[in-house]
């Protein structure tokens, strides 16, 4: 529990997000284009981080499904910025594993012809830190 408290604070600090501002309307998840790919959805990221229930998020593939399109940030009526929370949790996972999930060299192989440019940019944001 202590560890969770520390983790939670670290995530809040890294993301600069105040998760207690969330009023649990779900508009972030309603607007999310990657919703069906995700096990945990944007509103759950916010809610679970707020509750300190972070381990399941760290283990989840959902971290890497977020497109960082920031639609949730744009639409959130309370200014909570869920994408930043997802990003922060992902960073924690990356730092904890001590290695990236993929290296930059692995990226070109995964690119298909119709991959949107935004995805590429967001992929590089994620995989080359």
Partner 1 sequence: MQRVGVFVCWCGSNIAGTVDVQAVSEALKNEPGVVYSANYQYMCSQAGQEMIKAAVKEHRLTGIVVCSCSPRMHEATFRKTAAAAGLNPYMVEIANIREQCSWVHKDMMTGTEKAIILGKAAIAKVNLNAPLTPGESPVTKRALVIGGGIAGIQTALDIADAGFPVDIVEKQPTIGGKMAQLDKTFPTLDCAACILTPKMVDVAQNEKIRIFSYSEVTDVHGFVGNFDVKIKKKARYVKEDICTGCGACVEKCPMKKVPNEFNLGMDNRHAIYIPFAQAVPKVATIDPNACNMLKNGKCGVCAKVCAAGAIDYKQKDEIIEEKYGAIVVATGFNPISMDKFDEFAYSQSKDVITSLEFERLTNAAGPSAGKLLRPSDGKHPHTIVFVQCVGSRCAACAEKGKEYCSKICCMYTAKHAMLTRDKYPDTEVYVFYIDARTPGKNFDEFYRRAVEEYGVKYIKGMVGKVVPEGDKLKVQASDLIANKQLHIDADLVVLAAAIEPDKSARPLATMLTASMDTNDFFTEAHPKLRPVESPTAGVFLSGACQGPKDIPETVSQAGAAASKVIGLLAKDKLTGNPCVASSNELMCNGCSTCERVCPYGAITYIDKEFRMPDRTTKIRRVAVVNPAVCQGCGACTVACPSGAMDLNGFKNSQIMAEVDAICK
Sign of CA dihedral 41, 72, 11, 43: negative
HEC string of 72-89 equals HHHHCCCCCCHHHHHHHH
State the DSSP code for 52.
T
**In terms of CB distance, is 78 or 101 closer to partner 1?**
78
Which one, 71 or 89, has the nearer CB to partner 1? Answer: 71
Which of 28, 88 has the CB closer to partner 1? 28
First to last CA, the chain: 29
Minimal distance, residue 59 CB to partner 1, in Å: 18
Shortest reach from residue 26's CB to partner 1, in Å: 4
Closest distance of CB 104 from partner 1, Å: 32
Q: What's 128's DSSP letter?
A: T
- What is the binding site for partner 1 (CB under 8 A)? 21, 23-32, 35-36, 41, 43-44, 71, 75-79
Shortest Cβ distance from residue 27 to partner 1 (Å)?
A: 4
- Looking at the Cβ atoms of 7 and 32, the one nearer to partner 1 is 32
Quote the CA–CA distance of 59 and 77 in Å, as a whole number. Answer: 29
């Amino acid at each position: 529990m202590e560890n969770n408290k520390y983790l939670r604070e670290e995530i809040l600090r890294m993301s600069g997000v105040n998760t207690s501002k969330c009023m649990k309307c779900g508009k972030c998840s309603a607007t999310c284009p990657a919703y069906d790919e995700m096990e945990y959805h944007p509103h759950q990221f916010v809610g679970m981080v707020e509750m300190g229930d972070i381990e399941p998020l760290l283990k989840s593939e959902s971290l890497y499904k977020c497109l960082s399109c920031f639609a949730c940030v744009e639409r959130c009526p309370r200014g909570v910025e869920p994408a930043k929370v997802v990003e922060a949790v992902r960073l924690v996972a990356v730092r904890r594993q001590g290695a990236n999930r993929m290296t930059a060299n692995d990226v070109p192989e995964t690119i298909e012809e119709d991959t949107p440019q935004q995805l590429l940019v967001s992929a590089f944001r994620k995989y080359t830190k």
